[in-house]
Chains A and B, each alone.
Chain A
């Protein structure tokens, strides 16, 4: 059922076997060579002629056939699976590295096959490019056919209507054939059918058609899919995305040097970055407190107040939240992370301040926000110094070591050790600012020979045996933002909307034909009505019957028992109606 012969020329598609076009006759294998493009399939059956041209033509027809599209779609689904099972580099590179480390040769093998970059792998790309090639090859001819069909008149009325859906034949004694036809014509037009009146040898007929919008929608859908793909590709070439970390009270101005990390497409131009700046005025976080429902310490809200200036406009303030990004012309800024930045001052044994100010700490991911802190003081004398340890928003130190019990800063403290030695900053190898390798350094030890553990509360200062001092001067928070822009984004959305619109039309607009044939008889008129569903169309039969009874009642008042009939009961129905109207 639901056969559509999109490739057929209009007028040439009077079905040879009407049954296959009627809903409810799904005969498996009855038309196994059928496809939406019959002419093409006809060509498939014959082997390609020798020669390059013939072979290419053959391949092209294979590629644009419905079967191929189907297989490519299935391949696409299967090929996407490993992309969700193996950690993808583009999504989470550290997980990929971890997997590679744990899996040795097997990992390398998978890596060589592209299992960690599935969605940019040659095989995945090949599948979707072939699919879209097939799609384009499939739509182009259909567009031509459809345009012609839109302009053409509905096809000729089949000479025998008996085998079509809801066929009804009614005799109307005393009626005028032309009037009946005219009425049928009007009724169909009112129901938004395209109609044409045909003069036949001994009769006249209206041929009506409705639902060309279905094919229009289908074409729009497929074309819009190509649009989505093109716009995604365009976006990949021109978009940029970067991460920034900003401490309360500090600012950021949008230029490449200010980003912690940054990536952009091949056609991205730095000049296109909007020159905005902002200050992070305040960052607030709330968490589930003991006694509230939910698990204690779970975040409830994150809010970052920013004051933004763009050239030529007055400064404005906005609260950026998760799900509430800041949009300015040419960029959007998303709140994606946060943490603590304790203000710490380190002086070396000679009394020089070697580090001062808020230090961004890295949350370890526990509920209590235990955060790792690293301060590198390469200028310290007599030796380079590194301060490492933890910031604890609500701290405790027990057998498990220093940790935080609650994410809010209820009892903030620092648990630190100080190490001295060559920090290796001159080696030329770029280092992560938030990490230091202490294995080559010497911890500053106390009198008992053990490394000194420093525990500091805000406002306190600690002096080590060698004279180094560390003080905890205050606490600020920091927020991490992603700043991104994709100029093609809105076009992806527009294409996607066109696609769903088309999809809905193409799935739910029934496409059908209805015919009315009227003949003059000795004592009046005889008319026949029938329909043909060209898509799933459960209400066609009822509609045809409704039309038939409308035509018969309009001519000479309500007639008993002649409303409906179908092909099996045809002779009796015709007889019934003539009897009925003879009364």
Chain B
């Protein structure tokens, strides 16, 4: 029944994918580091220029000096012209980011192959235990990220923050949760709800991960922008905040853009969680004879759902929009992680069989 060769192939593919992800992560981080370096250089150059200008005509600079600053910190998030002024690489040259992006594409391809090989080896959907759930949902996170950022190149700057968590999940899966490929236990057999319920749960989880990444960046970027704005208001010409990390943040889309991206991801995630909850309930009725029984997994899915509902309300409520709502989105993500890790391994419930 189990094709052992395919199972081994799957394992191998995932391991190689991990190696490629590590390289991609290094690439993305190097890119962030180098752009923040470039940013510093640009800033120094700008300062020098200003110094020079000041010497020549002290009076007029004071009023016009604001222009380059505004450009250097343009809030619209897109490609920032100032980023590439000094050491902009020749067009077509392999930048660290491009390299990392290609690497992560290759890694994702292998990762997806690994998941598919596992499915072929076991002749069923590849999401019947924690290991499979983790490998499949992290593959989905990567696919979603690549799809988003093939069209919108500015999103590639988020690479570090997506590949990082994906790598973490894969390492956890490969070291702690790995189980040999096996057929299904009776409680998981005979049910198309296995495909539907868990399939949707995987999409929901992947979206929650992406949403959390975007929401945390939104929070950081929001603070950063605020600090910069204050410094500008206080009369600083080239405000600095959070040093190199700040330069990294400068490259990201504006907090407003991140906020609306986060909202879009979370609203789809919320719909997926709603379906997860409903399909889970339908399956529970088929398997256990009741659609709801406050099993720990049910409780936590309910908690996730309620927190995300609170997020949507917060976003529509004065005084809660922006950072506070983002905080709720992150709380929802904490619940997702708890539901996946602690509830599966520590708390004893009907879902325990799906665990290790």
Contacts and interface: CB of A to CB of B under 8 A. Distances in A.
Given A28-B321, A293-B183, A323-B187, A69 B302 contact: no
B182 interface: yes
A76 B306 contact: yes
B190 A83 contact: no
Interface in A278-334: 292-295, 298-302, 321-325, 332, 334
B347 A77 contact: no
A12 interface: no
Contact of A23 (B180, B187, B260, B321): B260
Contacts of A503: 270-271, 274
**Size bracket of the A interface:** 35 or more
Contacts of B12: none
Contact of B343 (A24, A41, A84, A91): A84
Interface stretch (B48-56, B111-119, B206-214, B291-299): B291-299
A334 B318 contact: no
**Size bracket of the B interface:** 35 or more
B90 interface: no
Contacts of A301: 186, 189
Interface in A78-95: 80-81, 83-85, 88, 90-91, 95
Contacts of A578: none
Given A36-B317, A325-B286, A293 B190 contact: no
Contacts of A66: 313, 316-317
B323 A323 contact: no
A504 B271 contact: yes
Nearest to B283: A323
B190 A324 contact: yes
Nearest to B324: A28
B320 interface: yes
Contact of B289 (A302, A482, A500): A482
B310 interface: yes
Given A241-B290, A336-B288, A489-B285, A2 B318 contact: no
A299 B186 contact: yes
Interface string B1-18: 110100000000000000
A77 B328 CA distance: 12
Contacts of A449: none
A24 B256 contact: yes
A35 to B, nearest CB: 6
A352 interface: no
A536 B282 contact: no
B303 interface: yes
Contact of B320 (A4, A70, A336, A499): A70
Nearest to B191: A323
B168 interface: no
Given A67-B317, A322-B187, A325-B286, A91 B306 contact: no
Given A80-B303, A241-B289, A336-B289, A2 B185 contact: no
B141 to A, nearest CB: 21
B6 to A, nearest CB: 12
B235 interface: no
Contacts of A1: 256, 259-260, 321
A249 interface: no
B310 A508 contact: no
A486 B307 CA distance: 29
B306 A35 contact: no
A4 B316 contact: yes
Contacts of B335: 77
A395 to B, nearest CB: 24
A499 B274 CA distance: 9
B189 A536 contact: no
A84 B183 contact: no
A74 interface: yes
A23 B278 CA distance: 33
Contacts of A126: none
Contacts of B306: 73-74, 76-77, 80
Interface in B156-206: 180-183, 185-191, 193
A507 interface: yes
A539 interface: no
B286 A323 contact: yes
B321 to A, nearest CB: 6
A5 to B, nearest CB: 11
B217 interface: no
B322 A28 contact: yes
B310 A74 contact: yes
B244 interface: no
Interface in B251-305: 256-257, 259-260, 263-264, 267, 270-271, 274-275, 278, 281-283, 285-296, 299-300, 302-303
B319 interface: yes
A323 B190 contact: yes
Contacts of A84: 296, 299-300, 303, 343, 347, 349
Given A26-B256, A294-B183, A507-B271, A32 B291 contact: no
A31 B318 contact: yes
A493 interface: yes
Nearest to B277: A496
Contact of A81 (B260, B267, B303, B313): B303
B193 to A, nearest CB: 8
B314 interface: yes
A36 B328 CA distance: 19
Contacts of A51: none
B184 to A, nearest CB: 9
B195 to A, nearest CB: 12
Given A484-B289, A492-B291, A73 B278 contact: no
A231 B98 CA distance: 55
A537 to B, nearest CB: 10
B227 interface: no
Contacts of B241: none
B26 interface: no
A457 interface: no
Contact of B181 (A24, A293, A508, A536): A293
Contacts of B313: 66, 69-70, 73
A74 B189 CA distance: 37
A132 interface: no
A293 B186 contact: no
B287 A80 contact: no
Contacts of B1: 292-293
B124 interface: no
B291 A489 contact: yes
Contacts of B231: none
Contacts of A90: 293-294
Interface in A97-145: 118-119
16 contacts: A23-B260, A24-B256, A26-B322, A33-B318, A36-B317, A67-B319, A74-B306, A84-B347, A91-B293, A91-B295, A299-B186, A321-B186, A323-B191, A336-B289, A507-B312, A536-B264
Given A294-B183, A322-B186, A484-B289, 8 more contacts: A1-B256, A26-B259, A73-B310, A84-B343, A293-B180, A496-B278, A499-B274, A507-B267
Q: Which 9 A-B pairs have the closest CB atoms?
A: A34-B318, A334-B289, A84-B299, A73-B310, A294-B182, A293-B2, A84-B296, A32-B319, A77-B306
